[in-house]
A = this chain, B = another copy of it.
Amino acid sequence: MIGRPRQEILRQLPHFQTVPPPLLERIASQCTARTLRAGETIFHEGDPATAFFVVIEGGAVLYRANDDGKRQVMNRVRPGQTFAEAAALTMRIYPATAEATHTPTELLAIDTTNLLCELEREPKLAAAMIGSLSAWLRRMVERVDELSAASAGARLARHLLRLPASGKGARLRIELPMAKKDLAEHLAITPETLSRLLKRWSDRGLIDNEGKVLVVLDPELLETIATGDESES
């Protein structure tokens, strides 16, 4: 699995989404690829923390040894995920041991000594990383907020209210950025439920449902539904 170019892998991480290409290239050139087999150790608890990792293939588990010698599993990571950033960036040592769980497990190690040098040389890099992490974080917080609404109606309402909408006050025009089945999946409901919700709201005059375009006729009521405290009948 020599796989995709490193730059492409890094680019997909929230960390490097908006880093200027030449900088990213330099960072990519300073990464180290590691291939391990299940059970092999990536780093030990107490080791000086000099890098964080992206899982490209396989997986890893992070654990601490307990008093009684048993493992206390802190975290498990799968392809596409990163681990040990916080340790490598803000602490001196790894607070846990990391071990590959699959054969093969492929990792990309981003050396933080190098990264810190780059950050020093290029304030724009720090800005780019902080900016794109912030943007991702916001999106994730929004999704958590949506998904933790109890009813399907509230989830849908919250989502719609966050979507780019044109027209102010009493009439919002919302263009759905994806197919309804994808929207349903996004909200963790079935397409049928979504369809029925829209129909019910449409029948009651809350919205106009014209295919990919929704017109919200009563934004305030929608907001009430989003809160969850309503008599939906």
Contacts and interface: CB of A to CB of B under 8 A. Distances in A.
Contact of A126 (B68, B85, B119, B168): B119
Given A140-B144, A147-B148, A86 B131 contact: yes
A214 interface: no
A197 interface: no
Contact of A140 (B68, B112, B141, B165): B141
Interface stretch (A22-30, A40-48, A74-82, A203-211): A74-82
A60 to B, nearest CB: 14
A70 B168 contact: yes
A164 B134 contact: no
Contact of A85 (B88, B119, B130): B130
A120 interface: yes
A170 to B, nearest CB: 12
Interface in A147-161: 147-150, 161
Interface string A49-85: 0000000000000000010101111111000011001
A44 to B, nearest CB: 17
Contacts of A126: 116, 119, 126, 129-130
20 contacts: A18-B86, A70-B166, A70-B167, A71-B167, A73-B172, A75-B162, A76-B162, A87-B131, A90-B132, A112-B127, A116-B123, A126-B126, A126-B130, A129-B130, A136-B137, A137-B140, A140-B140, A140-B141, A144-B144, A147-B147
Interface of A: 14-15, 18, 66, 68, 70-76, 81-82, 85-90, 112, 116, 119-120, 123, 126-138, 140-141, 143-144, 147-150, 161-162, 164-168, 172-173, 188
